[in-house]
């Protein structure tokens, strides 16, 4: 690959991958092979072996051995931190390779992929600090004869199911924190975007993560994902994906009452008041719906804007989106790349058609972008949207923005909360009272004031309502993968029960 050119070259042949189990690659042999075609170029780019339920059993057994013999959980926080810091360096050393394969499989712009990969080492560095500082509590108030301790212990073997929209980023919003807690794990990436998860196995092994601690079994959701949810030797399952699939995992996880961490769908509001810096807000709203071609669970897909500026502001956003560069994701100047899967492409176009049929006014976009190959959709804006319309209520997972005006702060909050979801929200205003009131009353797990889609390893992520439960990242994200134990210590001679 030529990293100095403005447009990176396609690979001459698809790259062959293997499963990653017990610290080593496991060759495809007679397993079914999924050949992934670039959604932007219509050419084969990777060949991924599809794991089976038996492969999952093998990986879980390796993770269980690694947990039970304490080769990882028995290390000090300082020793685990040292490995995490080496992993951060390993990701930096292979960042260009990781971004390249992420772009080829996913269709996102190479500049975006580089930024996402570039942010991941910081997660390991932050988690390394938490590994050293994680602690429990003590109770010295139980009288002279008793002392109490509260300890945190790793929960055990963790299963991770990640989606195709942010394959490397979402995985690394979990892995370093799970490792910091002392757990072992098995990851199942989407069959569409498995390459970077498998490369991570090599990076972690080189950093000193012991055999069996991190395993990757690519495969189909109904095969590997379902088996993972039902597996009685997995202690916790972290799933990122649709609310529909998350709901189905609830009953499957009852096999051993495993703990669940769920980051699910969103229909996220961007609330814009007339006193906002409208130029900044227009750019932020355009970014919030165009980023990753709208294939983002925290995408700002509902624009709720004060009526006095609603028409002007919608035109400002439309003008911004008209200048967005939709194109080849291997072109370093591209801002919006391809839609990742054919099924998702069809879904987005179906919602756009439904919006027209429901009577919404098409302000911008609304059609595929023909580049001669691949699947691309122009960022789309609908005005005249009512709360009952499907495009206002259902997660489209594409670059489709709905515009709804409001007349009062209370109405803005009511519209924002009128959804089954509660994953993220943004407010744009220069009034501190307004910003804090909206932040406190809108039901969302992540909130941005005068910005959107910002973040870092320090702050937790997760949702309210049908957007899931549990938290990833930050100190909370390490604690999520621990169990709390109460310890009572008798200091004096026991008062006899039997005299």
Confidence (pLDDT) at 6: 86
44 CA to centre of own chain: 26
* Nearest CA-CA partner of 270 in 293, 250, 294: 294
Contact residues for 350 (Cβ-Cβ < 8 A; gap 6+): none
Q: Tens of pLDDT along 38-53? A: 999 999 999 999 999 9
Residue 128 and residue 249 in one domain: yes
What average pLDDT score do residues 200-210 get?
A: 98
**Domain carrying residue 284:** 269-449
Residue 295 and residue 415 in one domain: yes
Beginning with the edge strand found earlier in the chain, give each strand of the sheet holding 137-139 in spatial order: 137-139, 146-154, 482-490
Catalytic residue among 120, 183, 296, 297: 297
Residue 237 and residue 320 in one domain: no
Q: What does pTM read for this prediction?
A: 0.96
Q: Tens of pLDDT along 156-187? A: 999 999 999 999 999 999 999 999 999 999 99
Q: Would 118 be classed as within a structural domain?
A: yes
In the chain, the percentage of residues whose pLDDT exceeds 70 is 99
Record the tokens describing residue 490, joined without a space: 């008798």
Domain count of the fold of the chain: 2
Residue 237 and residue 313 in one domain: no
Dist. CA 452–CA 446, nearest whole Å: 10
Residue 370 and residue 252 in one domain: no
Residue 395 annotated in active site:
no
Residue 230 annotated in active site:
no
Residue 336 and residue 241 in one domain: no
> What's 80's domain CATH number?
3.40.605.10
Q: Would 2 be classed as within a structural domain?
A: no
Strands in 282-423 per DSSP E? 302-306, 361-364, 380-383, 400-406, 421-422
Q: Tens of pLDDT along 183-196? A: 999 999 999 999 99
Q: Tens of pLDDT along 92-111? A: 999 999 999 999 999 999 99
> What's 355's domain CATH number?
3.40.309.10
Q: Tens of pLDDT along 219-266? A: 999 999 999 999 999 999 999 999 999 998 988 888 889 999 999 999
Contact residues for 280 (Cβ-Cβ < 8 A; gap 6+): 428, 450
Catalytic residue among 102, 105, 191, 263: 263
What average pLDDT score do residues 120-126 get?
A: 98
């Amino acid at each position: 690959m030529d990293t100095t050119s403005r447009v990176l070259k396609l690979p001459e042949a698809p790259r062959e991958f293997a499963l990653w189990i017990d610290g080593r690659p496991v060759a495809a042999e007679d397993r079914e092979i999924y050949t992934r075609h670039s959604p932007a170029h219509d050419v084969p780019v990777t060949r991924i072996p599809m794991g089976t339920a038996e492969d999952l059993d093998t990986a879980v057994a390796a993770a269980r051995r690694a947990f039970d013999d304490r080769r990882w959980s028995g290390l000090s926080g300082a020793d685990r931190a040292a490995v995490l810091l080496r992993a951060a360096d390993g990701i930096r050393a292979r960042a260009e390779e990781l971004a390249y394969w992420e772009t080829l499989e996913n269709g996102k712009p190479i500049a975006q992929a580089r930024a996402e990969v570039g942010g991941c080492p910081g997660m390991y560095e932050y988690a390394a600090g938490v590994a050293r500082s994680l602690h429990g509590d003590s109770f010295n108030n139980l009288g002279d004869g008793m002392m109490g301790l509260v300890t945190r212990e790793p929960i055990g073997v963790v299963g991770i199911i990640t989606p195709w929209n942010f394959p490397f980023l979402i995985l690394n919003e979990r892995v370093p924190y799970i490792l910091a807690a002392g757990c072992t794990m098995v990851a199942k990436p989407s069959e569409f975007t498995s390459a970077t998860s498998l490369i991570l196995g090599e990076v972690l092994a080189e950093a000193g993560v012991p055999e069996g601690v991190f395993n990757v079994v690519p495969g189909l959701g109904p095969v590997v994902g379902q088996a993972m949810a039902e597996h009685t030797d997995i202690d916790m399952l972290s799933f990122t994906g649709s609310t529909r699939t998350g709901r189905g995992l609830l009953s499957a996880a009852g096999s051993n009452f495993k703990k669940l961490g769920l980051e699910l769908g969103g229909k996220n509001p961007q609330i814009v008041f007339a006193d906002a810096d409208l130029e900044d807000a227009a750019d932020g709203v355009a970014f919030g719906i165009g980023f990753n071609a709208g294939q983002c669970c925290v995408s700002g897909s509902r624009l709720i804007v004060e009526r006095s500026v609603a028409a002007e502001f919608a035109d400002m956003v439309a003008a911004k989106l008209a200048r967005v560069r939709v194109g080849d994701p291997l072109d370093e100047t591209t801002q919006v790349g391809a839609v990742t899967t054919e099924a998702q492409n069809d879904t987005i176009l179906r919602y756009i058609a439904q919006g027209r049929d429901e009577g919404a006014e098409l302000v911008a976009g609304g059609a595929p972008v023909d580049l001669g190959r691949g699947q691309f959709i122009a960022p789309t804006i609908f005005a005249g949207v009512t709360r009952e319309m499907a495009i206002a209520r259902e997660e489209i997972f594409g670059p489709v923005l709905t515009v709804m005006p409001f007349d009062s702060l209370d109405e803005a909050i009511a519209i924002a909360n009128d959804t089954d979801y509660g994953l993220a929200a943004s407010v744009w205003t220069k009034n501190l009272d307004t910003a804090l009131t909206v932040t406190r009353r809108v039901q969302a797990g992540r909130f941005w004031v005068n910005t959107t889609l910002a973040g870092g390893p320090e702050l937790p992520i997760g949702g309210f309502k049908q957007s899931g439960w549990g938290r990833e990242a930050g100190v909370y994200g390490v604690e999520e993968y621990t169990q709390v134990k109460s310890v009572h210590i008798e200091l004096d001679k026991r008062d006899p029960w039997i005299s």
